[in-house]
Amino acid sequence: MSLFRLFSFNKLTKLELQREKAKDYRNVVILQILIVGCGLLLSEPLLTDSKSNVSKFIVLIFSGFGATYAFLLWDLLRNFTSNRYLIMGIFCFLSLIVVVGILVEFPYYQLLEVPNRQAYLLTIHGLLFPIEITVIAFAIRDIFAQGYLTPDKLWGAACVCLIIGISFGSLYDLLGIAMPGSMGVAIERGLPNYAECVTYSFCFLSGMDSGLQPIRFIRNLSVLEAVWGTLYGMIIIGKLLGLPR
């Protein structure tokens, strides 16, 4: 992708925009599946010993996933709005999150040391969560817009479903950082706690028991997530089936 295309705000034709959205949705969904799948399968070493060589390698992998995911979310957002202030503002925030996150969390060398890790994590997640909500809002509006049943709407429905689970995991992690022990178990801050929160989020979305006993506020939030996920599934199926091909 050229730098001109990357920072271009020119309007595309309807067909070009549809193809671009389908491609961007597909890229986000593929990476979301990788993040969730690897998080579920590779979280055990992080919870056992976050300083081991295996854990450091896992952190390195997820750092790459995180940087790529931030860029893909921003690239997807550009399809929904021509407001250059919003686009460039979110680009700056995501760039700041990625650069600072890599400098602080790089597993092999301490590139940047923060005196207050709790405040640092609260800031990172406090910036990331509203951006995820913004992308969800734009994507839902796009999916439910009038039109035909096209590939971009199908990929968009899958993207929103997965980003709901990931964003609620970010919210639980944010609450866990602000109130240590609120998830009902003592887990190291950072990627170990985030991976466990995402696992808890998808367990509730899928109707499974996570085994955790969080505080009442988080448990009530997870019930709202489960209700929202169920309603979203029912509404989106009815909407997509009702669209002409």
CA-to-CA distance for 96 and 67, rounded, in angstroms?
Answer: 11
Whether 143 is covered by a domain: the verdict is: yes
The structure tokens listed for 149 are 């049943």
Q: Is the pLDDT of residue 10 over 80?
A: no
Whether 8 is covered by a domain: the verdict is: no
Whether 71 is covered by a domain: the verdict is: yes
Q: Is the pLDDT of residue 242 over 80?
A: no
Q: Is the pLDDT of residue 47 over 70?
A: yes
Whether 2 is covered by a domain: the verdict is: no
Instruction: Give the residue-averaged pLDDT of 210-227.
Output: 86
Q: Is the pLDDT of residue 243 over 70?
A: no
Whether 4 is covered by a domain: the verdict is: no
CA 210 to chain centroid, in Å, comes to 20
- Domain containing residue 27: 13-242
The crossing angle, in degrees rounded to 10, of helices 117-143 and 84-105 is 140
- Taking alpha carbons only, the member of 94, 69, 224, 73 closest to residue 137 is 73
CB-based burial, 221-240: b 16+ in 10 Å, e otherwise? bbeebbeebeebeeebeeee
**Confidence at 2, pLDDT banded by 50, 70, 90:** very low
Whether 134 is covered by a domain: the verdict is: yes
Angle at 202 between CA 104 and CA 68, to 5 degrees: 40
6 close to 24: Cβ distance less than 8 angstroms: no
Range with top average pLDDT, 3-12, 69-78, 102-111, 152-161:
69-78
The number of domains in the chain is 1
In this prediction, residue 4 carries a pLDDT of 43
In this prediction, residue 1 carries a pLDDT of 46
Considering only the C-alpha atoms of the chain, give the largest distance between any 2 of them, rounded to a whole number of Å.
Answer: 57
Q: What is the residue type of 77?
A: L
Q: Give the model confidence (pLDDT) of 50-104 as tens digits.
A: 788 888 888 888 888 989 999 999 998 888 888 888 999 999 989 988 888 888 8
This prediction has a pTM of 0.83
CA-to-CA distance for 104 and 111, rounded, in angstroms?
Answer: 6
In the predicted model, what is the mean pLDDT of the chain?
A: 82
Instruction: Give the residue-averaged pLDDT of 171-199.
Output: 84
240 close to 154: Cβ distance less than 8 angstroms: yes
In this prediction, residue 29 carries a pLDDT of 92
In this prediction, residue 145 carries a pLDDT of 76
176 close to 182: Cβ distance less than 8 angstroms: yes
Whether 232 is covered by a domain: the verdict is: yes
177 close to 187: Cβ distance less than 8 angstroms: no
Match 């931030």 to its residue by tokens.
70
Q: Is the pLDDT of residue 9 over 80?
A: no
Query: In 3-state terms, what secondary structure has residue 31?
Result: helix
